[in-house]
Chains A and B, each alone.
Chain A
Amino acid sequence: EAGVAQSPRYKIIEKRQSVAFWCNPISGHATLYWYQQILGQGPKLLIQFQNNGVVDDSQLPKDRFSAERLKGVDSTLKIQPAKLEDSAVYLCASSQTPDRGSSYNEQFFGPGTRLTVL
């Protein structure tokens, strides 16, 4: 079974430039997540999609970050304009919709995109 794919793996940009990341989840997974992981910290959820609708974007800095999941499959995360503090690894994860009453909630993570803002 193919895992979660992300590209690019690495990106270096100047501050105030724009950047976009792409994620292809595991086939059949309805839920897709974008996380930001700053060096030395655990991942922080930015946005969660259920199919092509947004479930939770409460921690997404909407003045500069945007995300979409057209057709409920692939997703892109964009930063425009980037700031120095956006330097981080951006992780995409996907999961099946948990069965009602089931405790099982495994998220499958991609390898991430390491962004450096200079």
Chain B
Amino acid sequence: DAKTTQPPSMDCAEGRAANLPCNHSTISGNEYVYWYRQIHSQGPQYIIHGLKNNETNEMASLIITEDRKSSTLILPHATLRDTAVYYCIVINYGQNFVFGPGTRLSVLP
């Protein structure tokens, strides 16, 4: 079973920041938080991952709370092409990904 809880769907206005929450209250000290997304009719695509510190790359920012029980993926300026299902996954080194149902983000014009 997935170790994370995400809202099933969210809307965001084009050009605004999209903030996607993820709850992982049972995360252990060695487990990482990974985010993938899946655009319609494509395979999932890696976005970002982190352990404790906040992370940023060219796609998104990952904010992890100090107690590590939740995190937020931030798309700073959402575009229509960001419409997708976003998966938050918690795994340890050497483990395989367990995908939950994710959050369906709809970016509206």
Chain A residues packing against B (C-beta within 8 Å)? 4, 33, 40-45, 48, 56, 91, 93, 98, 101, 103-112
Interchain residue pairs A-B with the least CB separation, the first 9 = A109-B43, A42-B99, A106-B46, A43-B99, A91-B43, A109-B44, A45-B96, A42-B100, A103-B32
Q: Is the interface of A mostly helix, strand, loop or mixed?
A: loop
Q: In the complex, which residues of chain B have a beta carbon less than 8 angstroms from the beta carbon of A105? A: 34, 49, 91, 93
- Please name the residue on chain A nearest to B91 by beta carbon: A105
Q: In the complex, which residues of chain B have a beta carbon less than 8 angstroms from the beta carbon of A108? A: 46
Contact flags (1/0) for B91-103 with A, using CB distance below 8 Å? 1011011111110
> Is B13 on the interface with A (CB-CB < 8 A)?
no
Q: In the complex, which residues of chain B have a beta carbon less than 8 angstroms from the beta carbon of A103? A: 32, 49, 51, 93
Bound complex: CA of A49 vs CA of B41, how far in Å?
Answer: 25
A-B contacts, 28 of them at CB < 8 A, read A33-B96, A41-B101, A42-B2, A42-B85, A42-B100, A43-B97, A91-B44, A93-B43, A93-B44, A98-B93, A101-B93, A103-B32, A103-B49, A103-B93, A104-B49, A105-B34, A105-B49, A105-B91, A106-B46, A107-B97, A109-B43, A109-B44, A110-B43, A111-B41, A111-B42, A111-B43, A112-B41, A112-B43
Min distance, Cβ B89 to any Cβ of chain A, angstroms:
9
Q: Across the interface, do B97 and A45 meet the contact criterion of CB distance under 8 Å?
A: yes
- Please name the residue on chain A nearest to B87 by beta carbon: A42
Interface size on B, residues (CB 8 A): 23
Q: Across the interface, do B99 and A107 meet the contact criterion of CB distance under 8 Å?
A: no
Number of A-B contacts (CB under 8 A): 53
Bound complex: CA of A94 vs CA of B96, how far in Å?
Answer: 12
Q: In the complex, which residues of chain B have a beta carbon less than 8 angstroms from the beta carbon of A110? A: 43
Bound complex: CA of A105 vs CA of B99, how far in Å?
Answer: 15
Bound complex: CA of A17 vs CA of B75, how far in Å?
Answer: 45
Q: In the complex, which residues of chain A have a beta carbon less than 8 angstroms from the beta carbon of B34? A: 105
Q: In the complex, which residues of chain A have a beta carbon less than 8 angstroms from the beta carbon of B102? A: 42
Q: In the complex, which residues of chain A have a beta carbon less than 8 angstroms from the beta carbon of B42? A: 109, 111-112
Knowing A103-B32, A103-B49 touch, does A48 contact B96 (C-beta < 8 A)? yes
